[in-house]
Amino acid sequence: MLGTRVTNAGNESDEIRQLLREIRDTQREQLAEYRRVTERSLELQQRAVARQEQLGGLYRRLMAIGGVLVAALLFLLVYLLVKWSRYLFAA
């Protein structure tokens, strides 16, 4: 009877060790996956920031060009109104 208890305790101890090894291995795999996903996420964020900076620069250039174009057209409109005002607004 005592020998059976010792054997059962030994088997349970081996099973517990095996379960602990499996838990440890699973945690290591999860940690490795977490690191991989985190690195990928960081890479994607860095790419998004770089793309946003590029588009921001393009947007600023387009706005500057548009502003200059609007100013030139406004100047041309005023010039033409002054030049042709006697014909357009003659009483």
Cβ distance 86 to 79 under 8 Å?
no
| More reliable by pLDDT, 69 or 88 | 69
Residue 2 confidence (pLDDT) above 80: no
pLDDT, position 4 = 59
3-state per-residue secondary structure call for 1-22: CHHHHHHHHHHHHHHHHHHHHH
pLDDT, position 12 = 87
3-state DSSP call for residue 91?
A: coil
Query: Tokens for 55?
Result: 């588009």
pLDDT, position 5 = 61
Q: What is the pTM of this model?
A: 0.56
The string of pLDDT tens digits covering residues 34-86 is 999 999 999 999 999 999 999 999 999 999 999 999 999 999 999 999 999 88
